[in-house]
Amino acid sequence: MKHHQITASMAKDIAFKLGAELNNEEAEIFADGYNAAMLKVNKNASTELPNDANLSTSSQAEPDDSGLLPCPFCGSPAEHYPDGDMEGYIIMCGNKNGDCNLQTFGFTTPEEAGKAWNTRAAIPQTGNFRENPISSTNNFRKIADTSTNSPVIPDGYALVPVEPTDEMIAAAMNCEDVLFNSDESFCVQFGNIYEAMLAAAPQK
């Protein structure tokens, strides 16, 4: 199984989705660690790295003495929160600068918390989704390119022409709520006229 390398920019996006913000250095560390881990885990992956991969052995994530991996965002060691019995077991990033607040919390045992901390989400594979013939979104972009209208009309709404048709105008003028004056001017009750125009609008 082949995997794609991630970039620092992709690492920032992943962190943001998880509620964290990374600076450039942290994003590089995260990307390097992820790429190194994927090469180690995926025995069938190609061992050839792109020229700009810049992986070093120091960036490879290794568990500490307690079996915890370092923080995937900043590389700091993980720590057990001391009040696990009271608030559920928590493992948090040990970064003392206060700029990384990653943690797992609410587990019933230290082992569960450690397993959750050490679980790293797989990065979705990139590619052109339009190449998947059985995908329900296969033609999504093709549709979006040709139309910006919503395909769904909510209850209580009707699809009507932007410009009223002759029939709609006639329905408005013949509505009981158009009051003609002797000087050929008229006044209207807009709500009722609008209902008459909608009834005269072309139907599907």
Q: Report which of 203, 199, 197, 204 is spatially closest to residue 163, judged by C-alpha positions.
A: 197
User: What is the pLDDT, as a whole number, of residue 105?
Assistant: 72
User: What is the pLDDT, as a whole number, of residue 108?
Assistant: 79
Residue 21 scores a pLDDT above 60: yes
* Sequence-ordered alpha helix ranges (H) in 24-139: 24-41, 84-87, 110-118
Amino acid 179 reads: L
Is residue 188 a contact partner of residue 178, using CB atoms and an 8 Å limit? yes
User: What is the pLDDT, as a whole number, of residue 41?
Assistant: 54
Residue 13 scores a pLDDT above 70: yes
**DSSP-derived pairing of the beta strands 78-80 and 89-93:** antiparallel
More confident residue, 85 or 159: 159
pLDDT 10s digits, 126-147: 555 455 555 555 555 454 444 5
What pTM value is reported for the model?
A: 0.33
- Six token digits for residue 195: 């209902």
User: What is the pLDDT, as a whole number, of residue 127?
Assistant: 53
How far is residue 98's CA from residue 90's CA, in Å, rounded to a whole number?
17
Sequence spans of domains, the chain: 8-118, 129-200
Q: Report which of 153, 110, 127, 15 is spatially closest to residue 71, judged by C-alpha positions.
A: 15
pLDDT 10s digits, 56-113: 333 457 888 888 988 887 888 888 876 666 667 888 888 877 777 777 777 778 888 8
User: What is the pLDDT, as a whole number, of residue 20?
Assistant: 78
Is residue 104 a contact partner of residue 117, using CB atoms and an 8 Å limit? yes
Mean pLDDT of the chain: 69
